[in-house]
Copies of this chain bind each other. A is one copy, B any other.
Amino acid sequence: MKFGGTSVADASRLRQAARRIVERAEEGNRVVAVLSARGQTTDELIRHAEEVSPNPHPRELDMLLSTGERQSCALCAMAINDLGHRALSLTGSQAGIVTDTSHTRARILQVRAERINEALDGGWIVLVAGFQGVSTARDVTTLGRGGSDTTAVALADAVEAEVCEIYTDVAGVFSADPRVVADARKLAVVSFEEMLEMAASGARVLQLRAVEYGRTHGVRIHVRSSFDGAPGTLVVGEEETMEQPLITAVTHSTGEARITLLGLPDRPGIAGQVFTALAEANVNVDMIIQNEPESEGASADLSFTVPREDLRLARETLDPMKDTLGISTVAEDPDMGRVSIVGAGMRTHPGVAAKVFSTLGAEGINIEMISTSPIKISCVIREDDVRRAVQALHAAFELGPGTIEPEDPFTSRVPV
């Protein structure tokens, strides 16, 4: 079980999380729970660090930030003890989460679950501080923002859990953002591959890395609400999703910007220089499109999207390179968004892309860039059009309540 920051933000929510954990234990389960830092704790600690140092040392930032999750675990253990169960809080290090030495964005190398297993054997409920581990150099490390999801999935794998339950402030994964599409449907099941595409194209419910870890290690993930007991969405391997729906969900994002480099010489290595420079400046480049030059030796155009807040940084990085690279113009458009449709079924159904384009066309929405994967079609469009595009696609692909669901995985396979 994993509880996010909002699920442990105050004493009353923390006691509620404790009760959910105890319920699971009383059903006869061995329970390991991973907790995030409470509410704004991590942001406050970052603020303290910035007050002290303009550029906090990464090792020390990890030592500092790791304390938030420890506090949540200790407090939750107290609440569980009060409910008459025995709870044991463990730091990432005590839980055996061994990482590399990349402070603030460490990768898990190994989970040595002996201490957790001993405690479970002894009848304890085990609480583990999320988002952190201990490096091979014996230093405290953190896994980066949202790392608690990854902690939970990695521990679920290490203790061979039946399921990794991610409790969050939404009810599950939806066919579209319910704030945009009124009849968006909660999905009973999605595949890891679909979830990866959804996380990458705007759905915020699960961290990309946690989904990747789940797919690689075959960990069943159940995303569900921490505020009610209803089942949420199960994320599992494709072989378990039984029937492949054509389209699973429409996702979207806003706040993007497009940069186009015009008149790029058709010379090997140019794109490499551009994106190396942007990476070194820490600009997050997302979709990249390069057209074919019309003839050999002619100039090419290169377009890519960045988060809007990175636009200035991207410009400052590219402007000094214009002459060296022979770029004629750096064009910008700061008001971009994106709409994507995701579905494992589109692999075997041609004509999905055509339907996307004609649906958007019928709405008078201009498509600025297109990017596809075997199970996803993403269109960069004007930000103002995003809401309408999501609604039109959700309707066109009939993703609302009438949809035939695959066999309900909760009644058949998951211990709920």
Using a CB–CB distance below 8 Å, which chain A residues touch chain B? 10-11, 14-15, 45, 48-49, 51-57, 59-61, 63-64, 66-67, 70-71, 73-79, 81-82, 87-89, 91, 94, 115, 138, 140
Contacts and interface: CB of A to CB of B under 8 A. Distances in A.
B82 A60 contact: no
Contact of A15 (B52, B64, B74): B52
A66 B45 CA distance: 16
B70 A89 contact: no
Contacts of A54: 82
Contacts of A51: 10-11
A88 B137 CA distance: 12
Contacts of A138: 94, 115
Residue among A52, A61, A76, A89 having the largest count of chain B Cβ atoms under 10 Å: A52
A88 B51 CA distance: 19
Contacts of A45: 71
Nearest to A55: B82
Contacts of A82: 53-55
A60 to B, nearest CB: 4
Residue among A11, A64, A82 having the largest count of chain B Cβ atoms under 10 Å: A64
Given A48-B75, A63-B73, A91-B140, 4 more contacts: A53-B79, A60-B75, A63-B89, A94-B138
B78 A70 contact: no
A78 B94 contact: no
A74 B70 contact: no
B48 A60 contact: no
A77 B57 contact: yes
Nearest to A57: B81
Nearest to A45: B71
Contacts of A48: 11, 71, 75
Nearest to A90: B63
Nearest to A38: B48
Residue among A51, A63, A66, A67 having the largest count of chain B Cβ atoms under 10 Å: A63
Contacts of A55: 82
A407 to B, nearest CB: 41
A77 B63 contact: yes
